[in-house]
């Protein structure tokens, strides 16, 4: 299978490119600078510049483009977050429609932020969109990807949860304060975090590539969402460190503003219904065992 990946230099994209190559796939990566390697194809999202011929003949496109969401959301930061996702997706759908030999599958990233802050409510792929910046962004992101749908093309929107890896992502940012005994609950710790190990995420993408019945929104989360206070206790236990320094909500809102409110204080309890119904088997469902395996 020949696969084209955008956003291949990001945390997930880097892991996925390596993983699929090890599985024997022919992987090409879209790059924004001059293509200098055999596995690179140049494109310029801002200038809509690309060589259409280089996009011919792929079995699947995987779209992971998007600027980092972490940090204080200024007006400019929010615009960058939106534009980097929407513009890249729009351009890929336009390219697909122009191809003589288009892909059979278009897999495009999204996020469980689609559901918004929903407390203890359990949500699957058929649950309604939430309210706020994240839900609106994810909804528009998916709508752009769905523009590529026709009778011969399968579109999958990956609603990705908190991805756990000892080598990058959010967990790596948490490890330093926790190792110094500075970890603690966020606010009252009652918000749900829906997580997935990087290994299960990669396996799930491979599963989706090879299972044509899987389409539309797909939640990439484990079967066991967990409250922040339990996540905190578990991480502290794995690291053999105390976790008695909670971070008040007012501090989160003051320092991180809208990002803190929607990303850290939001409760999103999600289950992977479509993956389970399709027969996918998770390697990591127990948080403590997962953390012991991935933290070096």
The string of pLDDT tens digits covering residues 63-93 is 999 999 998 999 999 999 999 999 999 999 9
- Domain CATH number, residue 31: 3.40.50.720
pLDDT for the residue numbered 190:
97
| Domain interval for residue 241 | 2-294
Q: Please check the confidence at residue 281 and state whether its pLDDT lies above 90.
A: yes
3-state DSSP assignment of residue 180: coil
Q: What is the mean pLDDT of residues 205-211?
A: 98
Domains held by the chain: number: 1
**Whole-number mean pLDDT of the chain?**
95
HEC sequence for 215-257: CEEEEECCCCCEEHHHHHHHHHHHHCCCCCCCECHHHHHHHHH
pLDDT digit string, tens, across residues 182-197: 999 999 999 999 999 9
Q: Determine the average pLDDT of the residues in 227-242.
A: 97
Residue whose pair of structure tokens reads 């991480």 in the numeric block: 235
Structure tokens at 42: 């140049």
Q: 151-204 pLDDT, tens per residue?
A: 789 999 999 999 999 988 999 989 999 999 999 999 999 999 999 999 999 999
């Amino acid at each position: 299978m020949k696969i084209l990946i955008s956003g291949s230099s990001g945390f997930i994209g880097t892991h996925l490119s390596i993983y699929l190559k090890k599985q024997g796939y022919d992987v090409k990566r879209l790059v924004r600078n001059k293509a200098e390697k055999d596995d690179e194809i140049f494109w310029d999202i801002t200038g809509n510049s690309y060589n259409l011929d280089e996009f011919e003949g792929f079995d699947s496109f995987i779209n992971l483009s998007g600027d980092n969401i972490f940090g204080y959301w200024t007006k400019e930061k929010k615009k960058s977050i939106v534009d980097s996702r929407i513009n890249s997706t729009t351009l890929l759908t336009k390219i697909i429609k122009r191809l003589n030999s288009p892909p059979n599958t278009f897999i495009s990233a999204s996020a469980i932020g689609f559901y918004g802050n929903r407390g203890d409510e359990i949500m699957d792929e058929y649950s309604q969109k939430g309210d706020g910046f994240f839900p609106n962004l994810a909804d528009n992101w998916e709508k752009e990807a769905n523009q590529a749908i026709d009778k011969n093309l399968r579109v999958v929107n990956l609603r990705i949860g908190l991805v756990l890896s000892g080598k990058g992502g959010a967990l790596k940012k948490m490890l330093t304060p926790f190792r110094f005994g500075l970890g603690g609950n966020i606010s009252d710790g009652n918000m749900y975090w829906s997580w997935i190990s990087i290994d299960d995420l990669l396996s799930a993408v491979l599963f989706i590539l090879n299972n044509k019945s899987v389409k539309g929104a797909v939640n990439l989360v484990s079967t066991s969402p967990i409250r922040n206070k339990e996540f905190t206790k578990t991480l502290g236990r794995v690291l053999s460190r105390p976790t008695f320094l909670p971070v008040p909500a007012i501090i989160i809102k003051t320092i991180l503003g809208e990002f803190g409110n929607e990303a850290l204080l939001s409760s999103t309890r999600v289950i992977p219904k479509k993956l389970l119904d399709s027969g996918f088997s998770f390697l990591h469902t127990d948080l403590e065992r997962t953390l012991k395996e991935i933290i070096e």
